[in-house]
Amino acid sequence: MSRIGKRPITVPSGIEVKVDNNVVTLKKGKTETSVDTKGNVNVAYADNTITFSALSDSNEHRAFWGTYNALVNNAVIGLDKGFEKKLEINGVGYRAAIKGKNIELQLGHSHPINYPIVDGVTMEVDKNVITIKSHDKQLIGQIAAEIRGFRPPEPYKGKGVKYMEEHIVRKAGKTAKK
């Protein structure tokens, strides 16, 4: 039995929930998020709680049970509080700046990298820290991974773009053997 799947999701006040066939739609103000369960689970909404149940005892349906519960729970948390990720830029001459609807990254390449800021996402740059905020957990994770991918941290000096909570395991250089 899925421990995550059987957990009921409590919906805070201010968030409207609509369950239509296989789609759970959550709305707060002008922000709307929907999760399509594709008919793999049963969804019930009553008394400000959303509950999920598996269609059968097959492994596939039990896996979907926990997955869709987690996706809807993340959507509720995102609309209520929001999510944020922080990236840290390390290196001489490495910097970031917001220019209009783009973030300009100078990461040691021969040219600056202009990354477009998507609607529904806010980015802030404070010295060498990029803060990405949104209601969609998957979207900010994807954006953070793409920005980190432009210059991943290297293990010798630690230069590059890393997650704020990430720990870089350092290697000894060539002179360490002597």
How do residues 13-25 score in pLDDT, each as one tens digit? 999 999 998 899 9
How do residues 74-110 score in pLDDT, each as one tens digit? 999 999 999 999 999 999 999 999 999 999 999 999 9
Domains and CATH numbers, the chain: 9-80 (3.90.930.12), 83-163 (3.90.930.12)
pTM listed for this prediction: 0.88
List, in order, residues 6 or more apart from 78 with CB less than 8 Å away.
33, 134, 135, 136, 137
Q: How is 113-164 classified by DSSP, letter by letter?
A: EEEEPPTTEEEEEETTEEEEEES-HHHHHHHHHHHHHHSPPPTTT--EEEET
Q: How confident is the model at residue 116 (pLDDT cuts 50, 70, 90)?
A: very high
